[in-house]
A and B are shown apart, each in its own frame.
Chain A
Amino acid sequence: MEKKNDFVVRFAGEGGQGFLTAAVGFATANNQAGYHTQTFATFPSQIMGGPTWMQARISTSPVLSRGDDLDVLVTFNRENYDLHKDEVKDGGVIIYDSEAFQLEDDSKSLGVPFDRLGKSTGNPRAANMVVMGTLAGLVDMPQETLQEFNRKRFSRYGDKVVQANGKALDLGREAAKASGFRLGQLNDPVRPEYDQIMLNGNDAICLGAAAVGVEFFIGYPISPATTILVWMENNLVGSGKFAYQASSEIESITSAIGAGYAGKKAMTATAGPGFSLMSEGIGLAWMAEIPVVIAAVQRGGPATGLPTKTEQSDLLMALNPAHGDVRLPVIAPGTVEECFYAAVQAFNWAERYQGPVILLSEHALSERQQNIRKPDLSSLTVENRRVYTGGNGYQRYDGFELSPMPIPGTPGSYVANASEHDGMGDTTHLPQRHIQMTERRFSKLKLLEDGVYESDGTDSAVALMPWGGSKGPAFDAYRQLAQSGVDIGWYYTMYLNPLPPALLEELRAKELVLVPELNYLGQFSSVLRSLGVRAESITQYTGLPFKVGDLVRIVSERIGVRKGEGVAV
């Protein structure tokens, strides 16, 4: 049997069944063995019940997308079997608990009494380990890989648990062997030379913020941003640090701004509904020129929408979150690793231009566990605002460009003013002042044109340019298209505003820029068109990320249509 480089398993059941830990555990074990892994989860917003699934992808090379089709489906009830069975590949296997329900023979299904076998080991929670053992058996994974994971993860619960789990792993493996099902052995992992960590996107944002020196965090619980608040409350403690659950998002943003004004590196995190409530506050930070970072982790839909699904429909709001002439700096990471660096750069930008920066993430990134290269903390650039150090009587807002910022407690008192103001920050309505201050605020964006971007196949007249979390599936699609001889290029940046100027210049020269994005309006392509780029969106609004196969098909179709129209591609 041919060896495999890639393996996708999905666990589907009801919320609260605890099998999510099996998916993460299986990924972690393989990661420890040197494979690259990524998990993807989707669930309803209630704690218990309702259909839920989580999948893990294991690969010998870095994983960019969740995996379109399944090698194995693990299902815990009939309903989920029916829902997911069609996504199992030819030659794939469906594992189910043969004592929970019965399936007629479909030549794919492998019944294993996980629950009974698990309990027989003496650990009533060992069913997950039985499943993992069966999975290992199907792909001929060395049993030691899982046993080592078992020892590492469970030794703190005592030897008894480790022993029971070990037995459960063996029972599961034996069941796979006895069944005769085999999927082909996974190739040996190519262990990266660098150190790795495994975490989800929200944790990566938090680590990045900590690395760049966040001192003040305030937020209000909301999916999928809550885990940022919880992380900060656990870790941002000690002298000079403040992490706190506010009574609303209005309180969060205005307090964060108060702290930024008082000289702190301040941050808040929220999602759609809370982001809407922050609107007026974000305008205040822009107007009064106060550094603050707002992490907006997108969920689906307007209003309360789809709290636990993924979408990229808050881009236009991120760019223009408040009334009046504003255009916010926006950094939108596309991978877990980028979440870390996006947080670092969001703070650096906020400090550098003295204003609010939007860190635009999304549900799919927040929930995804992925192995990434361990960040080299010693090589990070950490920027701090220019601070005013003179005496009193300073004109803080003088001139058309950035100026040093006084910090309360030291000389240089001024009024940070949300109304249009003069040099001291006193309110004024004079036309020439409004002209000066408006131009001053926009001129500062020029300081942020140091974003980097990726490109490939730059000679092509057509380019694929996703943003945010659509990067992974789009890059997989790009590779497939390029390999099959399609003439197409690749561009990507997480710096959505301001866009790196050289990137914009390259994009403007293209006949067509295709933008895969998870929204109805085609938000990023409309922004690109307004900047003079011939851009067109590939949209999807299902609450789920793109599948690679869908993108390959749609891009091919679009290019075909263009060819039919006589456009040179």
Chain B
Amino acid sequence: MTDKNPEYDFKWCPGCGDFGVRRALEQAVERRMVETEIPIENTVVVAGIGCSGNMVHLLEGPQPYGFHGLHGRTLPVSMGVKMGNPDLNVVVVAGDGDFLSIGMEHIAPQAQRNLNVACVIMDNAVYGLTKGQSSPTAEYGMVTSSTPYGKPEDGLNALRMYLTSGVSFVASAISSKIKDLSGLIYEAMEHPGFAVVHVQSPCTTYHNTYEQLKGNARKGIAPLAWDIPDDHDPEDLGAAFEIANSGGVPLGVLLRDEGRAPFEARIEEMARSAKSKTLEQMVESYAV
């Protein structure tokens, strides 16, 4: 939706982190167009259901294809799109509720397949669209509309979960650092395999965490976000786990494993050893 569409009535709240993520995604997609000379219609954005998923309608500039499907099902839809046409550039955009709660069951299988899509996950630790209920990444004890006496579960360490599941590219970012984020999204799109860019994207209405993320020296608040040191080796899974276990919000690439074949290459490889039959041969095999 490039022009203002009078029929489309959804708006992000002022200051919502998703604005920054949108800008970063637009930049990454445009950069890909310039650097690869592949037209915009080669990109498909598969969106989850949530405030975040609305990004597929709010993108400005060149318009990619979009798929705004069901809550929690971005990954299997993207598998169908990518395996249906492996030449496409497929990007998933979803919230933490969509991806990590109802959609959690789809992460590990895609990681094992090394499905060649890039996922941009907007984590605000709440369900924004349904008005502020607790989400998997909300911390223990957090009070939300659905946890009036505090959240009884521990908060999910999403980065560690991605690493454990076998995601082959794992990056972490915050929505306000648009240039960095856009670079990570670009890298994720270029990565030959399953890539997740996990973005802290604050919900200004239900859980505003800007100050905690960036810190406030005056109030004595230390920033949660910290840069992954330059000497970190993203091919070292053990080192990636150490970063994921260090607390706070690391910024940068935790893991980049290019040694595993992407799903489409695996299927192609297996097909090579298969004896493919013509239709006539298939029918003939039932002759009496």
Contact = CB atoms under 8 A, between A and B. Distances in A.
B85 interface: yes
A433 B6 CA distance: 12
A338 interface: no
A242 B9 contact: no
Interface of A: 28, 31-32, 195-199, 203, 207, 210-211, 215-216, 218, 235, 237-239, 241-242, 244, 246-248, 250-252, 254-264, 266, 280-281, 284, 288, 371, 374-375, 377, 392, 406, 408-419, 422, 424-430, 433
A485 B68 CA distance: 61
Interface string B1-23: 10001011110000000000000
A207 B79 CA distance: 25
Contacts of A425: 66, 68
Q: Most A CB atoms within 10 A — which of B79, B83, B283, B288? A: B288
A408 B85 contact: yes
Contacts of B40: 413
Given A238-B274, A427-B8, 4 more contacts: A408-B42, A425-B68, A427-B68, A428-B9
Contact of B276 (A215, A237, A288, A430): A237
Contacts of B277: 235
Contact of B81 (A198, A261, A422): A261
B267 interface: yes
Interface string B94-115: 0000000000011001000000
Nearest to B9: A429
A274 to B, nearest CB: 14
B77 A411 contact: no
A426 B41 CA distance: 17
A237 B271 contact: yes
Contacts of A428: 7-9
15 contacts: A196-B288, A207-B283, A210-B279, A235-B277, A242-B83, A251-B79, A260-B80, A264-B85, A284-B69, A408-B42, A413-B64, A414-B66, A417-B68, A418-B70, A422-B5
A414 B78 CA distance: 16
Contacts of B105: 247-248, 250
B68 A416 contact: yes
B167 interface: no
B149 interface: no
A374 B284 CA distance: 9
B73 interface: yes
Nearest to A32: B288
B67 A255 contact: no
B271 A239 contact: yes
Interface in B46-82: 46, 49, 54, 56-57, 63-70, 73, 76-82
A263 B81 CA distance: 9
B203 interface: no
Interface in B252-288: 267, 270-271, 274, 276-277, 279-280, 282-283, 286-288
B44 interface: yes
Contacts of B286: 197-199, 203, 207
A235 B282 contact: yes
A195 B271 contact: no
B88 interface: yes
Contacts of B236: none
A261 B80 contact: yes
A430 B287 CA distance: 58
Nearest to A31: B288
Given A413-B65, A415-B57, A374 B283 contact: yes
A251 B113 CA distance: 13
A426 B57 contact: yes
A392 B41 contact: yes
A252 B85 CA distance: 17
List of 5 A-B pairs having minimum Cβ-Cβ separation, nearest first:
A258-B80, A262-B84, A259-B84, A415-B66, A255-B80
B271 A258 contact: no
B25 to A, nearest CB: 15
Given A262-B81, A377-B280, A254 B274 contact: no
Interface residues on B, range: 35 or more
Given A248-B105, A262-B88, A211 B279 contact: yes
B87 interface: yes
Given A241-B271, A408-B88, A424-B1, A259 B10 contact: no
Given A242-B267, A254-B76, A374 B287 contact: yes
B41 A259 contact: no
A408 B81 CA distance: 9
Contact of B287 (A195, A281, A408): A195
A74 to B, nearest CB: 23
Contacts of A242: 83-84, 267
Contacts of A406: 65
A169 B33 CA distance: 72
B145 to A, nearest CB: 23
B83 A259 contact: yes
Contact of A247 (B8, B109, B271): B109
A179 to B, nearest CB: 31
A284 B87 CA distance: 24
A314 to B, nearest CB: 22
B68 A238 contact: no
Contacts of B39: 411
B73 A254 contact: yes
A215 B41 CA distance: 22
Nearest to B39: A411
Contact of A238 (B8, B82, B88, B271): B271
B80 A281 contact: no
Contacts of B49: 418
Contact of B44 (A31, A199, A408, A412): A408
Interface string B187-206: 00000000000000000000
B73 to A, nearest CB: 5
B10 A410 contact: no
Nearest to B69: A418
A40 B73 CA distance: 40
A103 B115 CA distance: 62
A93 to B, nearest CB: 27
Given A284-B70, A415-B57, A197 B65 contact: no
A235 B163 CA distance: 35
B274 to A, nearest CB: 4
B234 to A, nearest CB: 28
Q: Most B CB atoms within 10 A — which of A235, A260, A429? A: A235
B80 A216 contact: yes
A239 B276 CA distance: 10
A284 B10 CA distance: 20
Contacts of B85: 262-264, 408-409
B84 A254 contact: no
B70 A426 contact: no
Contacts of B1: 424, 426
A238 B42 CA distance: 23
Nearest to A255: B80
Contact of B282 (A210, A280, A412): A210
Given A248-B105, A262-B81, A409-B87, A424 B5 contact: yes
B57 A427 contact: yes
Contacts of A247: 105-106, 109
Contacts of B64: 413
B288 A255 contact: no
